[in-house]
Structure 1
Amino acid sequence: MMGLIIGLTYASGVVEWVYEELTAPAWLLSTPILTWLWIAKTMWMAFILWMVDRFGHGWCRWASMGLITLLFAASGGWITGFVILRDLSVGFYAILISWLITVATMLLIGRAHKAAGILMWPVFVWTTYMAVVSFELMRLNTGLQLAGL
């Protein structure tokens, strides 16, 4: 699946679109780094899901597993909005939803399994970075004006 996503981003011209056609923030990571971090985040989330499924307890176990599953779906939403549709607004709102689900997961998952709660921090950091990147791309390329920005 990840190979398909990577191939799609290169074959569809999204890389050229982002790095050559759009105005991007100077702190945007390079494509290979973004790609490998996205893959690592996805595998990390799968590991956390396994931990919660295998070792979690209580009602929080099921709720956490549901939220992590929603995170996978939200990642698909960002890929659809940003990579396939090339819509900066849809991409931003998809990653914003993903960020909100990540926060909800972090608030709950530690009750199901403490180590899984700690392991969610890199996912939170990554999702926050991608939300800020998506916002900046949208702001810089759609003429969105905010006071003081």
Structure 2
Amino acid sequence: MLLIVDYFSGAPSGDIRNNINFLVRQAYSAQTGITSNSRLSAPSGFTEDMIVLCEQWNQGSNKSNGGNKWSDPAPDGSVMYSLEAYARLSQTRYRGFGGFYLDGDYYFVKGPYYNLRRCIQIANEPVVEEGE
């Protein structure tokens, strides 16, 4: 069994750290102003590997690209959007990523749930340690 606490703006107290398994951060970049790696951090008393970052994209221009424009570029130098950023961060810093209102991605030009499926693949890419 897992005990998972979900939060949006007010972070839970670090006093509960030993009583829970994970925190789900409803990061929703458009609503919280999170648009870069430097704007993310674990709440006081928690470590980043306890956090699952979630994005929503169900309306406006962000529904066709996987969230909102991220200030940091993708590894290939292209524009990166928040869902992809959360997937990439789940490889190195955070426990995972998720989405809310995923139906906004169903009718994407490149195929059903294109952004979500691509980000699942990104999160599952093997991480190569330096010196290997």
Q: State the TM-score, normalized to the length of structure 2.
A: 0.30
Greater fraction of residues in helix: 1
Greater fraction of residues in strand: 2
- Structure having greater relative contact order (Cα 8 Å, sep ≥ 6): 1
Q: State the TM-score, normalized to the length of structure 1.
A: 0.27
